[in-house]
Amino acid sequence: MTMFETFDTVAFEGTSSDNPLAFRHYDAKKQVMGKSLEEHLRFAVAYWHTFAWEGGDPFGGSTFQRDWYPQDSMENAFKKADAAFDFFRVLDVPYFCWHDLDLRPDQGNFADNLSTLDQITDYVGEKMAQSKTKLLWGTANMFSDRRWMSGASTNPDPDVFAFTAATVKSCMDATHKLGGENYVLWGGREGYETLLNTDLETELDHMGRFLNMVVDYKHKIGFKGAILVEPKPQEPSKHQYDYDAATCIGFLRKYGLENEVKLNLEQGHAILAGHSFEHEIATAAAEGMLGSIDMNRNDYQSGWDTDQFPNNTPEVALCYYHILKSGGFTTGGTNFDAKVRRQSLTAEDLIAAHVGGMDICARGFEAAATMLEDGGLENALSERYAGWKSAESQAMLNSDLESIASRVLSENIRPEPKSGRQEILENYVNRFV
């Protein structure tokens, strides 16, 4: 019996409900813009925060008590998988995500890690065969163990690079085996603490070469999913090489990967980089590199990645607006890279946190869809850039500085500023959220 076994599958009860374990806004089958909300949002549960995190923080240890603790045996790994799939049943979610270290304990050597990963993914595959929940993406944890303290693919030790390659191969194989729709790489230690002991050029070249190996292996095994990288500006390394969407896009272009790799973007990481989530999504979408999202939020009074569940409908709405505008998810989805607070100890807390996050996302998504169908923002953009539609303006882009300067003189061009109408547009958005 798992800690979730006594809970029924969460139902949609509508906005009049006061049941904390019911959906008030997320009606999975509701049709919006030709697809159901479930098909649009593609919700996923994060194995690491929901099942592997024990409630610790930098100043204190575990606060949770779970049937699968301690997480140092395969016996408890199987118990954790049982609990996870029972939880997926309660939420009726279509997807989940994992790191290898979430599924089973690190054995300290690659051969045993490979053996236990095979064992647990065989077991998870059996659970999946009896469930609607599929794998959105898998990834390798290459940041927790001390072997990764100086990086994974960027490590100055060639043996660590080799261990990294073997680990990622095993996780790609496991993801492929379970029918995963993406494979994610987050370089938690791909960065540096000080330039006094760092060769930047060498480390970046090694990371670029490694990612090319990943893409080559994807094609070799016939993996049809997307390869995604995840930006983050800091934590744990002081200077991360994957700072934000723009940095990652530049890196991918430098190493010839722009047509092979897309981005997995996280709300909390965007905030740490000094951006909004919608900025990161719009940046990736503009370059055709939007893959998937990790949905959460940060505490705006704290300077680190707090990974809380989303609760701000206007923020979420603008994020989904840009996702919808770019065509919506293909292989990607909405993964809740979020954790309950360390004082939230019960099974009910875990369920309610996800229910609330799914409701907020559904509210934001429907607002985004209504705004897009209304067309107000797109009309405002079209009007603001209307001057560039003329043949003369387009010809100027193919001209030169001398010709343009001559025209400014001959026509006595004296442009007057035009209003950006920001407050009017903000008021427009507020009509929907």
**Helical H segments across 273-400, by residue range:** 277-286, 313-325, 347-374, 376-384, 391-397
The residues annotated as belonging to the active site are: 99, 102
pLDDT of residue 183: 98
Nearest Cα residue to 210 out of 170, 253, 155: 155
pLDDT above 70 as % of the chain: 100
Look at residues 310, 217, 205, 220 and name the one whose alpha carbon lies nearest to residue 268.
310
- pLDDT for res 302: 81
Site of tokens 């809740």: 336
Range 64-81 burial, b when 16+ CB lie within 10 A, else e:
bebebeebeeeebbbbbb
Tens digits of per-residue pLDDT, 190-234? Answer: 999 999 999 999 999 999 999 999 999 999 999 999 999 999 998
SS3 6: coil
Residue 32 pairs in a beta bridge with: 35
Q: Which residues of the chain have pLDDT under 50?
A: none
Judge contact between 281 and 265, C-beta under 8 A: yes
Sign of CA pseudo-dihedral 356, 337, 104, 107: negative
Asked if residues 35 and 365 have their Cβ atoms less than 8 Å apart, the reply is: no
Cα 372 to the center of its chain, rounded Å: 23
pLDDT of residue 210: 98
Distances from the Cα of 34 to the Cαs of 7, 113, 159, in angstroms? 32, 44, 51
